[in-house]
Structure 1
Amino acid sequence: MRTINALLLLLIAGALISCDGALDENPSGKLSGDQLATPDRVESLVTAAYAALGNGHWDASTYTDPWPWGSVRSDNSYKGGGSVADQGVYNNYEQFSSIRTDLDKADQFWFKSYQGISRANLAIEKLGQISEEEFPMKTRRIAEARFIRGHFHFMLKIMFKHVPYVEANEEKALKNVSNREFTSQELWDKIASDFQFAANNLPPSQPEPGRVDQWAAKAYLAKTRLYQAYRQDDNNQVVEIQDDKLQEVVQLVDELEASGEFELFNDIRKNFLWEFDNTDGGETVFAVQRSRNDGTVRGRVNMENALNYPMNSGFGCCWFHIPSQNFVNSFQTNSEGLPKFDTFNQNSLTEPQDFQQNTVDPRLDHTVALEGHPFKYDNNRIYNPDVWARAPATYGTYTSMKGLQPVGSPAVQQVVFFYASSKNNDVIRYADVLLWKAEALIELGREGEALPIINRIRNRAANSKVKEANGENVSNYNIEPYRDGQNINWTQETAREALRYERRMELGMEGWRFFDFVRWGIAAETLNDYFETEKQRRSYLQDARFQEGRDEYLPIPQQQIDFSDGTYVQNPGWPGG
């Protein structure tokens, strides 16, 4: 992805939507519409829209690496850091019971997302003012901008449910667009229309890394339809699963499979190491392109997860996004190499010997740093929680690994006190896409067709063992495929359970688990069961409680309701809702 330059930032700054008093100003540096509607400048406006994807930050605008919203609010991870008060607003979100409508992190997420939408809309508007003869790439660039707009609206939708759908770039447009203009299902259709346009008008491949293509658009359309298929009532309860939407998911994923453009890596680790970025025929379907040493001050490194590096020499800050004990326990397998669906949390794996005395799924050692095991596959860097963990008395001894790069990696760059990398961050990878298809097939009553898909991913996991320097496995691995009539009775019910478990093993700590819960309609029962046991292990969770019918979505930020002069309607269960 090309980096937006400083001059362009100055040119477009006045045209970006803001959520404060700047909307009432007429910036002196703002260009007129005629000045922006030239081939060179509309190309730059599309680049600026792409740049918005890479402008995320751990301060709350984590809209391509949503670990605070999808992991910390799930049973997969704790907030972490130096204490409960460190980035304490994320602690409110983790515990649910202390969320308020005026917390700043959600407000920042909203604000930054609509800035991204504004950039996309400005590009679309100005592209519409020039002809194909003037700019032969016009339709393709509109499709790219609509994809970007679709991404930001999708993230807002799964965070807040009822949000303004903005497709005009007029000043003050945002505050005047009701967040209830469309029903929830109609809003999904609006988001889907952007991805459908992109799918219809983008080529199968692009000459420049970082530009979205037809397959990324079809994948995001499939994801949108999957979420939409689980129709919710006004209290966020799933009341219907729509077959037509599920069938569309299957059809779209079939097209991705038939394209021959994607394949599961032979080892899952390749998804999480910088050197395998931009691999032809690999697993990335849609990723934000990162860079360093590119002529800018700090490059386009991923600041969204810059809080999450451990405290050891070589990094040093700040140990957030810490795997939960429940999550670590969930990797246990039984004697037949299958998950311990109902019993995994009855005993805890806490000591180094526990990972030899019990059998586990190999994906554990790709996801969680464990005492005595290599950190990010480096046998010269053995994880020592006495040195690497920052607040073990509060959050335990583990460290997350997927979003991080090894010590000494050419991708890692220090930014003041923090560490970040130029590893592209995958928003959609192929294993996720295949599991969408498996999920849709199961809900359509075609669970037999889902079985080989899930086994394909399990077989890749079995081939992804992490080794010590002497060639021995670092843990006692035992993972097998599901065999109907032998190690499992493959019914729709058991297939659904297996699919949901597989998503946790394969995609754990990638930021999507909470949103899975809400889609399936199981957030309250799952999280309250989790809190009941986990608060006995982590005392800071004593007051944690998920309120059904409210906590599936964040409240509309009070700052935004005030900004809209009451146009926005608060979500159910929150003050004013």
Structure 2
Amino acid sequence: MIKKYIMLAACTLGLSLSSCEDFLNYTPTAVVGEDEALANPENMVTAAYAMLGDCWYTYPFNLFPYGDISSDDCLKGGSGTTDTGYHAFDIWTTLTPTTPGEMDELWYRLYVAISRCNRALISLERNGDSLGKDVKEQRIAEVRFLRGHFYFKLLTVFRQIPWIDEKVVEDYTVEDNSYENVSNTALSYQELFQKVIADFEAAYNVLPVKKPGEDGRANRIAAASYLAKCYLTLAWGDGYEATTGENYINTEYMKKVVSYTDKVIESEYGYLEDYGDIFLPDYNNSKESIFAVQCSDYKDDNTTYGRANWSNTLNGCWKMWSCGWDFHKPSQNLVNAFKTKNGLPMFDDYNDEIAYPVNGQLTTQKWDPRLFHTVGMPTFPYKYESEYIMTKDNSRTPNTYGYYTSLKEVPQRSDGETFNGSWQAFPMNDYVFRYTDVMLMRAEALIELNQLDKAEKIVNDIRDRAAKSIDKHINYAKDQCEIALYPDNYFSTKEIARKCLRWERRLEMAMENGRFFDLRRWGIASKTLNAYFLTEQNDVYEGQTYGQYYKDAHFTAGKNEFFPIPYNQMFYSPGLYTQNKGYE
């Protein structure tokens, strides 16, 4: 495809030379050539960092449609099932390589980000000595961390991808176009992951251990967290259910998860005291935040619109914000999962009956307090503020998507937005890793290594923080909350420990864009989602039914574990790419 563009450009140039020689001799201004750009390695590194937040709702780098809308935690939302192409992610049956453009946009933009990383590495190799030896080595490590970050996302969504690094870029010539020789099956899934791991290891071996909030750059603890996540992903199998799950555990990889999370524990990162504070912009870079995409408010950084979080621009609450488009809607199944009995989860019967709390109306049903930090519900204050009470009018299409709204990715209403136009955008950092997430990964690995008591201690520490997260922000729901620690030795078997860990991860990380990837890692996506589709289509809230479109939903194991390679990428690379299994 690149050759075709070059030939077209050459033909056009030839015609122009015959009639517009004077015009072509003009040297344009405000244009930076590649050689000039590569001469400034610090700027090239900054350009690579800038791609962390260079996202949009059609290519959200936080992957909320891929990790949440596709799961049992979330309904798509919006004006109806035809609003964006994400409906196919919600029901799976209509997901194809030609599903409207969002998948292709994500693929393209992530490779743009990788291209910036590769060019930054070339710049550092050619001109990095001007920075001094130590700074040069650190910048190379930072850029390799960033490249690993973007490749991890591509692997997570699309599985079989072409690996393009700085060598491929340097080797490119018009005569021998190295890009056109890179197949998406040149490396296996495992080999691709080892490439990503090599990038994170390079970062881990060089980057400093920084204090929380020191700056937004990559650091050694963030690299350790990513290495733990890579090994945890691989430890369960290859992602397809037939070869993933409890029968495919790689204990050596699980040991690596524990080893790398040791480094996180030894750092100054830790649990923020109140769960609600984690999701307020005033705590954007607290000790809970190991690595996050940095955002800011225009009032603070003196820019026109601030450094907004554009991934979540559709996810504001309808009529609470002037243009809240009401996407990313919590499911009834998720709300039910927060039910407690004697302070512990109702593992076996949580979804037998539809229930939801009503402000000021006490019942015998009690709830994990994290529900009120995660899900906005009618009758309750919106994000803790009593002057903004949610009603049923705050849902755009209640007959399709119900009345709940997601709270974690938005600020308090009184704080306002940093951009207000046809969409809202907010100055909320996007977590890549927060401390609790990493500790849950550690507990997961410890269980598979038969260190059940240590895993139980981690889970109870997290539950203890949740129990102490009532008075500051959700005192209005205090009488509806009940949460307890697991008794000593409750994790008596792997089966019990797994159940508790997986439940805890769901509640703690709800609506943080990763639920589907958890289900896939454990090899239980088809069982979980197909059961969810059967019950969620019967949703009702005060007489209003919704979710009936799930009658058309089905998750097919051996296919839907990964998303298809976008049609445009297959079309522009004929014969070079192989489609993912089941989407041929």
Question: Normalising to structure 1: TM-score of the pair?
Answer: 0.89
Tell me if the contact between 1:249 and 1:440 (Cα under 8 Å) persists in the aligned partners. Answer: yes
Tell me, yes or no, if structure 1 residue 91 matches structure 2 residue 92: no
- Secondary structure of the residue that 1:405 maps to in structure 2? coil
- Alpha-carbon deviations, 1:57-80, whole Å to 9, x = none? 111x212x2211111100001000
Tell me, yes or no, if structure 1 residue 484 matches structure 2 residue 481: no
Counterpart code for 1:277: N
Q: Percent of aligned positions with the same letter in both sequences?
A: 37
1:346 to 323, 343, 352: 352
Instruction: State how 1:388-407 maps to structure 2 within 5 Å.
Output: 388-407=394-413
Q: Any stretches of 5+ residues in structure 2 without a counterpart?
A: 14-27, 540-546
Aligned position for 1:248: 256
Aligned position for 1:45: 44
Residues 158-167 or 289-298, more deviating:
289-298
Q: What is the rounded CA distance, in whole Å, between the counterparts of 1:364 and 1:46 in structure 2?
A: 40
Aligned position for 1:11: none
Counterpart code for 2:528: T
Tell me, yes or no, if structure 1 residue 183 matches structure 2 residue 188: yes
Q: CA deviation at 1:312?
A: 2.3
- Alpha-carbon deviations, 1:87-144, whole Å to 9, x = none? 2x10011100001111211111101100000000100011011253554411111111
Distance 1:21 1:240, change over 3 A: farther
1:536 to 538, 541, 564: 538
Residues 497-506 or 556-565, more deviating:
556-565
Aligned position for 1:155: 153
Instruction: State how 1:85-484 maps to structure 2 within 5 Å.
Output: 85-87=82-84, 89-103=85-99, 104-132=101-129, 134-136=131-133, 137-168=135-166, 169-170=169-170, 173-205=178-210, 209-232=215-238, 237-238=243-244, 240-259=248-267, 261-279=268-286, 282-293=287-298, 294-335=301-342, 337-350=343-356, 352=358, 356-386=363-393, 388-409=394-415, 412-465=417-470, 471-474=475-478, 476-484=480-488
Q: What is the rounded CA distance, in whole Å, between the counterparts of 2:352 and 2:486 in structure 1?
A: 23
Q: CA deviation at 1:181?
A: 1.3
Residues 376-385 or 74-83, more deviating:
376-385
- Alpha-carbon deviations, 1:34-74, whole Å to 9, x = none? 43343xx2111111111111111111x212x2211111100
Tell me if the contact between 2:78 and 2:396 (Cα under 8 Å) persists in the aligned partners. Answer: yes
Distance 1:205 1:407, change over 3 A: same
- Secondary structure of the residue that 1:352 maps to in structure 2? coil
Q: CA deviation at 1:569?
A: 0.6
Tell me if the contact between 1:58 and 1:307 (Cα under 8 Å) persists in the aligned partners. Answer: yes
Q: CA deviation at 1:255?
A: 1.2
Tell me if the contact between 1:66 and 1:510 (Cα under 8 Å) persists in the aligned partners. Answer: no
Counterpart code for 1:505: L
Q: CA deviation at 1:495?
A: 0.3
Counterpart code for 1:80: G
Q: What is the rounded CA distance, in whole Å, between the counterparts of 1:176 and 1:24 in structure 2?
A: 21
Aligned position for 1:71: 68
- Secondary structure of the residue that 2:237 maps to in structure 1? strand
- Alpha-carbon deviations, 1:147-169, whole Å to 9, x = none? 11001110111101111121123
Q: CA deviation at 1:425?
A: 1.2
Tell me if the contact between 1:95 and 1:541 (Cα under 8 Å) persists in the aligned partners. Answer: yes
Distance 1:155 1:414, change over 3 A: same
Distance 1:20 1:312, change over 3 A: farther
Q: What is the rounded CA distance, in whole Å, between the counterparts of 1:380 and 1:203 in structure 2?
A: 45
Aligned position for 1:8: none
- Alpha-carbon deviations, 1:151-209, whole Å to 9, x = none? 11101111011111211235555443111111111111110111110011111128962
Tell me if the contact between 1:467 and 1:474 (Cα under 8 Å) persists in the aligned partners. Answer: no
Q: What is the rounded CA distance, in whole Å, between the counterparts of 2:582 and 2:364 in structure 1?
A: 46
Tell me, yes or no, if structure 1 residue 506 matches structure 2 residue 502: no
- Alpha-carbon deviations, 1:477-502, whole Å to 9, x = none? 111111135xx462111000100000
Distance 1:110 1:37, change over 3 A: closer
Distance 1:235 1:322, change over 3 A: closer
Distance 1:161 1:348, change over 3 A: same
Q: What is the rounded CA distance, in whole Å, between the counterparts of 1:457 and 1:160 in structure 2?
A: 32
Q: What is the rounded CA distance, in whole Å, between the counterparts of 1:429 and 1:22 in structure 2?
A: 45
Aligned position for 2:24: none
Q: What is the rounded CA distance, in whole Å, between the counterparts of 1:570 and 1:559 in structure 2?
A: 12
Larger Rg: 2
Tell me, yes or no, if structure 1 residue 571 matches structure 2 residue 580: yes
Tell me if the contact between 2:336 and 2:354 (Cα under 8 Å) persists in the aligned partners. Answer: yes
Aligned position for 2:17: none
Distance 1:454 1:19, change over 3 A: farther
Q: What is the rounded CA distance, in whole Å, between the counterparts of 1:382 and 1:498 in structure 2?
A: 34
Q: What is the rounded CA distance, in whole Å, between the counterparts of 1:62 and 1:23 in structure 2?
A: 34
How many pairs align? 545
- Alpha-carbon deviations, 1:554-574, whole Å to 9, x = none? 011111011112211111111
Tell me if the contact between 1:288 and 1:426 (Cα under 8 Å) persists in the aligned partners. Answer: yes
- Secondary structure of the residue that 2:552 maps to in structure 1? coil
Counterpart code for 1:421: F
Q: CA deviation at 1:314?
A: 4.1
1:523 to 522, 525, 536: 525
Tell me if the contact between 2:306 and 2:418 (Cα under 8 Å) persists in the aligned partners. Answer: no
Counterpart code for 2:455: A
Distance 1:342 1:174, change over 3 A: farther
Tell me if the contact between 2:274 and 2:468 (Cα under 8 Å) persists in the aligned partners. Answer: yes
Residues 442-451 or 172-181, more deviating:
172-181
Over the residues paired in the alignment, what is the CA RMSD in angstroms? Answer: 2.4
Q: What is the rounded CA distance, in whole Å, between the counterparts of 2:524 and 2:559 in structure 1?
A: 13
- Secondary structure of the residue that 1:515 maps to in structure 2? helix
Distance 1:439 1:284, change over 3 A: same
Counterpart code for 1:58: Y
Q: What is the rounded CA distance, in whole Å, between the counterparts of 1:420 and 1:379 in structure 2?
A: 23
Tell me if the contact between 2:41 and 2:128 (Cα under 8 Å) persists in the aligned partners. Answer: no
Question: Normalising to structure 2: TM-score of the pair?
Answer: 0.88
Distance 1:124 1:529, change over 3 A: same
Counterpart code for 1:271: I
- Secondary structure of the residue that 1:505 maps to in structure 2? helix
Residues 290-299 or 49-58, more deviating:
290-299
Aligned position for 2:556: 547
Q: CA deviation at 1:413?
A: 2.0
Q: CA deviation at 1:313?
A: 4.5
- Secondary structure of the residue that 2:351 maps to in structure 1? helix
Distance 1:101 1:146, change over 3 A: same
- Secondary structure of the residue that 1:181 maps to in structure 2? coil
Distance 1:18 1:368, change over 3 A: farther
Q: CA deviation at 1:303?
A: 0.9
Tell me if the contact between 1:374 and 1:468 (Cα under 8 Å) persists in the aligned partners. Answer: no
- Secondary structure of the residue that 2:344 maps to in structure 1? coil
Tell me if the contact between 1:80 and 1:321 (Cα under 8 Å) persists in the aligned partners. Answer: yes
Residues 98-107 or 414-423, more deviating:
414-423
